[in-house]
Amino acid sequence: MKAFIKKYYVYILVMLAFYVAAPLLCRDTGSAMFTLLCLLPAILFILSLVYAKMNGFKWYLSIIIGLLWLPAIIYLNESATIYALIYGVISFVGQGIGFLMNKILNSGK
């Protein structure tokens, strides 16, 4: 159980910190759209890519990352619910690419 927690808690805590902090920093509609459509997906993609490269592909991490977005609806509105699905898919794609990169790099050894 300890190994399981150690593998995931850093990635989950980092993403949760961005989920909480980023919308609080938005001052107007433009900065909110930039955050929701560019900043968070880019961070999420990179984080998922790094995770999969280090630990392999875990489909349930993408689900967890998507579900972690749901509390953000409290200070946004219910139209932000779709981002849970979008962020889950972005995480899934990032993990897939990280996993493939790891396979390709390790096959050359």
Query: Over 70: is that where the pLDDT of 2 sits?
Result: no
Query: Over 90: is that where the pLDDT of 90 sits?
Result: yes
| Rounded Cα distance, 95 and 38, in Å | 18
| 35 compared with 7, residue with greater pLDDT | 35
Q: In the predicted model, what is the mean pLDDT of residues 40-57?
A: 92
The rounded mean pLDDT for the chain is 86
Query: What pTM was computed for the model?
Result: 0.85
C-alpha distance across the termini of the chain, in Å = 32
**Side-chain half-sphere exposure of 107, counting CA atoms within 13 A:** 6
Cβ neighbourhood burial of 18 (10 Å; 0-12, 13-18, 19+): middle
